[in-house]
Amino acid sequence: MSGHLLEVRNVTRRFGGLVANSDVTFTVSPGEIIGLIGPNGAGKTTLFNVLVGIYPPSSGEVIFDGKSIGGLKPHQIAKAGLTKTFQNVALFGETSVLDNVVTGGLVNRSLTDARRFAAECLERVGIGAIAQKKAGDLSFPERARVEVARALCTSPKLLLLDEVMAALTPAEMEEIIELVRSLRDEGMTFIVVEHHMKAVMKLCERLIVLNFGEMIADGTPEEIAGNRKVLDAYLGANFSTQGEGH
Amino acid sequence: MTRSNTLSIALPALVVLALIIAPLGLDPFGYTLRILCLMLLFCAMGQAWNIVGGLANQISLGHAAYFGIGAYSSTILFGSLGVSPLIGVFVGMFLAAIFALVLSLPTLRLKGHYFALATLAAGEVARVVANSWTSLTGGPVGISVPYRPDAGFWALQFQTVLPNYYLFLGAMILVSLVFWLVQTSAFGYRLRAIKENETAAEVIGVNTYRVKLHASILSAVLTAMLGTLYAQFQFFFDPDTIFGVATISVKMALIVILGGAGRLYGPWVGAAVIIPLEEMANSYLGNSIAGLSQFAYGVLLIVVILLNPRGLISLFESLRDRLKGRQRA
Ligand SMILES: Nc1ncnc2c1ncn2[C@@H]1O[C@H](COP(=O)(O)OP(=O)(O)OP(=O)(O)O)[C@@H](O)[C@H]1O
Ligand SMILES: [Mg+2]
């Protein structure tokens, strides 16, 4: 046994002619907090979508908790303990915050237990006070928190957070960082996509960098900060956004 | 909050009480009682549709297929083999479950309009088959339930309309109870998740395909049961009415969407509005303009969805909330 929680082996994902992820390979050990960074359109969300089963990989293999999960349905992968939050927020808008979170709990609990655990999750994420509000009526930062609570309620082993700190104040970011750390101390593992570099550097012990779908670096924040390729990728991205084409 | 809770229990209880005593003052053979019977039946049919159409927003326009399967199964068994409709009803329910299962394989992966169109087509296929398989169904001329009033409850036939009325009331309450049990269970949470965001539902562990399949089968089985009751009430029907798009499929959807999709009392309100309205329209316009009602249903459905997709119940609720707000201010 390798002892890895997740192994991503040569994963490629194409959309027609576009290669959103190209030959991505890395492993994740239990208890890690990994930052997945890269310029806009680098393929971060696509990689998350492949890992949770929204898109099957075009080629390559994903091994989670000792089982090959490439090509499984998202609900099977969620049951195995791998889920994500949605960058563009995909809550059940007509439903209350509490019921959104309860639905996550049903993956491995009875309704009664899911209700109890959902209340706990809401408290941990700091949104117990808005439990009865309709999810569709919330502000963006509140919705991102509901996303986190709903994902937590599935009791994942590995949780993929896609820009949950976008639009948060520094104090609110600090709360999320503390939450992720304490959950990690309880045994959860994280991959975090975040554009806010300070938050990423603070939270993550290891960074993986994507650029145009390719993995260009994997290392500690210090290593990444001094990596030539990474600096080029970010500068290049800044230039090309003005030109619009790649 | 407690006040609105008591209201939401007390009001329906009052309605049921009123429905229990209502026919006592009416002519047991009369026209009004027949209209009330149809209202209860269509309320129950709407409620069966509501399980999959309302909670999960799978807009089926082919539920007439299940209704017709129920009606034909019990009627053919009774007519040709003398099997009691009390047994035939279960045969119909079983066959409807099979039909729902087979239909689900290709259609459940379809989204929105495509699902609606595919189910519409399936209902039409059932109609065409019933019209052409003359040796089994009697074909376009229709089929009669043999009249055996002497056989009593075993034949599920009655001397007056009154027992039918209470049978329909019981069916309406039964299907509403099933809907309520589904709505408040884990199953209901999953169906609502599918309605709101199927991808998100999957990612947090909802087996969307299986949940939709189970809901479709449950809905089909209940609809078939009501088909048998309808046959025993009408004594005669033909493929074009029992498998009708406007007369059955669209009407079921319309009743729910007008009242409030995914809401327990949605079909109650919807049927209470649509059925009397339809009777009034028919008696004023007469049956001379046959195609008109079909056209009217289509138009009405579109208007309702455009104007107020949440239905009359939500209209009533927002009105109540506004009044409350004014009191507080
Ligand atoms: N379903 C899809 N169909 C076609 N192309 C897609 C699809 N999903 C993503 N893409 C494309 O794949 C590329 C990577 O997109 P992705 O959303 O993964 O980037 P990202 O790194 O998450 O960007 P951001 O930082 O802006 O969120 C983009 O060019 C995008 O247009
Ligand atoms: Mg993204």
Q: Give the number of C-alpha atoms closer than 13 A to the C-alpha of residue B166, restricted to the C-beta side.
A: 12
**Most confident segment among B106-115, B283-292, B293-302:** B106-115
pLDDT of amino acid B192: 97
pLDDT of amino acid B103: 92
pLDDT of amino acid B329: 47
3-state secondary structure of A62: strand
Among protein residues, the one whose CA lies closest to atom 1 of ligand 1: A15
Q: What is the mean pLDDT of residues A153-167?
A: 95
pLDDT of amino acid B289: 58
Average pLDDT, chain B: 88
Instruction: Tell whether A116 is within 8 A of chain B (Cβ).
Output: no
Q: Pick the range with the lowest mean pLDDT from A191-195, B196-200, B297-301.
A: B297-301
Kindly state the percentage of chain A with pLDDT values over 70.
94
Residue B109: which of B240, B216, B226 has the closest Cα?
B216
Residue B71: which of B138, B135, B122, B121 has the closest Cα?
B138
Among protein residues, the one whose CA lies closest to atom 28 of ligand 1: A41
Among protein residues, the one whose CA lies closest to atom 25 of ligand 1: A40
Which residues in A lie closer than 8 A to residue B318 (C-beta atoms)? none
The CA distance from B72 to the nearest CA of chain A, in Å, is 39
Which residues in A lie closer than 8 A to residue B196 (C-beta atoms)? 91-95
Give the whole-angstrom CA distance, residue A120 versus residue A155.
12
Q: Pick the range with the lowest mean pLDDT from A66-80, A161-175, A223-237, B68-82.
A: A223-237
pLDDT of amino acid B236: 93
Residues with CB under 5 A from ligand 2 (ion): A 44-45, 87
Is B204–A150 a contact, with Cβ atoms under 8 angstroms apart? yes
Question: Which tokens is A211 given?
Answer: 């650029």
Ligand 1 geometric centre to CA of A82 (Å): 21
pLDDT of amino acid B186: 97
Question: Which tokens is B31 given?
Answer: 């026209």
Express each pLDDT in A92-120 by its tens digit: 999 999 999 999 999 999 999 999 999 99
Of B186, B196, B205, the CB nearest to A78: B205
Kindly state the percentage of chain B with pLDDT values over 70.
93
Among protein residues, the one whose CA lies closest to atom 6 of ligand 1: A15
Higher pLDDT pick, A155 / B120 = A155
Instruction: Tell whether A114 is within 8 A of chain B (Cβ).
Output: yes
Of A93, A102, A154, the CB nearest to B205: A154
Query: With 70 as the cut, is the pLDDT of residue A236 above it?
Result: no
pLDDT of amino acid B286: 64
Q: Pick the range with the lowest mean pLDDT from A3-12, B24-33, B288-297.
A: B288-297
Query: With 60 as the cut, is the pLDDT of residue B328 above it?
Result: no
Residues with CB under 6 A from ligand 1: A 15, 18, 20, 38, 40-46, 87
Higher pLDDT pick, B150 / B287 = B150
Express each pLDDT in B225-267 by its tens digit: 999 999 999 999 999 999 988 889 999 999 999 999 999 999 9
Query: With 80 as the cut, is the pLDDT of residue B5 above it?
Result: no
Query: With 80 as the cut, is the pLDDT of residue A203 above it?
Result: yes
Using the CB atoms, write b or e for A31-59: b if 16+ within 10 Å.
ebbbbbbbbebbbbbbbbbbbbbbbebee
CATH code for the domain defined by A1-81+156-246 = 3.40.50.300
Ligand 1 geometric centre to CA of A226 (Å): 27
C-alpha dihedral over B225, B231, B233, B237, to 10 degrees? 150
Higher pLDDT pick, B326 / A170 = A170
Give the whole-angstrom CA distance, residue B262 versus residue A99.
15
Give the whole-angstrom CA distance, residue B312 versus residue B269.
7
Domains of chain A, residue spans: 1-81+156-246, 90-155
Ligand 1 geometric centre to CA of A64 (Å): 23
Higher pLDDT pick, B141 / A48 = A48
pLDDT of amino acid B158: 83
Is A83–B203 a contact, with Cβ atoms under 8 angstroms apart? yes
pLDDT of amino acid A241: 42
Q: Is B236 exposed, middle or buried (0-12, 13-18, 19+ CB in 10 A)?
A: exposed
DSSP string, B290-327: HHHHHHHHHHHHHHHHHH-TTHHHHHHHHHHHHHHHHH
Is B204–A94 a contact, with Cβ atoms under 8 angstroms apart? no
Candidate CATH numbers 1.10.230, 1.10.287, 1.10.3470, 1.10.10; the one for domain B3-328: 1.10.3470
Among protein residues, the one whose CA lies closest to atom 24 of ligand 1: A40
Which residues in A lie closer than 8 A to residue B206 (C-beta atoms)? 75, 103, 106-107
Query: With 70 as the cut, is the pLDDT of residue A243 above it?
Result: no
Q: Pick the range with the lowest mean pLDDT from A235-244, B34-43, B256-265, B272-281.
A: A235-244
pLDDT of amino acid B3: 56
Q: What is the mean pLDDT of residues A124-141?
A: 94
Q: What is the mean pLDDT of residues B273-280?
A: 84
Domains of chain B, residue spans: 3-328
Residue A29: pLDDT band by 50, 70, 90 thresholds?
very high
Is the complex ipTM higher than 0.85? Answer: yes
Single-letter residue type at B111:
K
Express each pLDDT in B289-324 by its tens digit: 555 666 777 777 777 777 777 888 888 888 877 877
pLDDT of amino acid A228: 85
